Structure 1
Amino acid sequence: MTVQRILSWTPAAIVFDCDGTLMDTECHWQDARISALRAFGFIPAPGFAERAKGLHYTECGALMAEEAGHPELTAGLTERLLADFRALAEARPLTMPGAPQLVEQAARFAPLAVASNCPREVVEASLSTAGLLHRFGHVVVPDGPDDRDGIRPKPHPDVYLTAARLCGADPADTLAVEDSHCGVEAAERAGMRILGVGPWPGDRTAALVDLWVRSLDEPAVRGWAGARVPAQIARNRPTMNP
């Protein structure tokens, strides 16, 4: 990992993943996957949670049906998965440690966007409940499954490329903040520098990021963001003629 590619650098834009990065919703997705499978009489296979993490919910529904041996149940499992997740997320919205503070600081020196595999209404409702939605200039999510020429879900790079373009930044000058291999792969394909967050993901994922931290509340992250704010203010201050 090239740590200094992050800690000594000021990005032109920052694009955050939502689930597991800004909002503590991975537990809700995990519970929703289990409840959806049980509603159809199945139980998750070993390792299913890791295979499903970060997938678009439609792809997750297809994966559940495939692993259950009943691909004809894809639509029903997908619908139940999303309904169960929405109920859980609305009942217990939680932010990830350090996420609100980092967003508040980052919004002072760079345009911000969200790139998520979740439905737009779910992302916006979660961020609004957390008081963070107004900090993001753009929320980018995949187009519907019937729109084959639109924005594809992660691990395709589309959501990240679109978010950088909307922020007016080159992808190479943009920082992606991610927690899953699926999302990290999307950001890497987009050509961004990547800050990974969460439990150690293993060498395969870590090899794709510039810096991996356990939490956005770590001193290194807080110090990096805090140091960017006065520098940006100084650059933006008008020069006084003598």
Structure 2
Amino acid sequence: MKRETQNILLVLLGGALLKIALNGTYLRYVKPGQQAWLIGAGAIMVVLAFVSITRDIIAARRPEQVVAEVDDHGHSHGGFQSHSTWLLILPVLAVFLAPPALGEDAVNRAAGRTPPPPSSSQDFSFPALPAGDVIDQRVMDFVERAAWDKSGSLNDRNVRLTGFIVHKDDSTYLARLAIGCCAADAYPVKVKLDGPGLGTLVSDTWVKAVVRYQPGSSTTESRHVPTVTLADIQSVPEPPDPYEY
């Protein structure tokens, strides 16, 4: 591969990293804390590419300088390197094609993960829920409280959850994907919806749902997936950051 092509690929790859880091698309792949690293990596790639381009231009203006591209046999041995360099275009294409965030398929393919206890103590202590007719909670917090809070703080409370619709077999869920570092280690947290007309909900549609926890439904047998009674549901746009942490 010619140096000019390598430099162009390096500019494209660095530019792609800068693009997703600055417009927020990176949140489909990694946690917010990774933004600075993406900006730094993209900027370094672009700078290196322009330094290389500048050096090549300067060298080309020196007629006495001849750059040997081949060995004494008159051919290059860079075939494998040339082919592998073209692989740099794959992440560029992935960025510009902008695949969506993980959704229903990822939830259904995951083996599932039981929410970990909040501490090593046997008496799990959760802060009191705020007052109000309807309170907002993350799906992860709701699932954890349903699994481990023995005080029944969720009983008879209306909780608003934001997530996307997942259908599996005859069941309908509201789910989010939680990540530790990036989308590669994502795992689902979800609640099972109970109510009329659930089959008409479109998969992967983002919603805000007001629900009531059904006491005793978050058990080892249910893999600590609580069942909730659906009181109200509204479609909403996908949030800029689709994951929970």
More helix per residue: 1 or 2?
A: 1
More strand per residue: 1 or 2?
A: 2
TM-score interval w.r.t. the shorter chain?
Answer: under 0.3
TM-score of the pair, normalised by structure 2: 0.25
Where relative contact order (Cα < 8 A, 6+ residues apart) is larger, the structure is: 1
TM-score of the pair, normalised by structure 1: 0.25
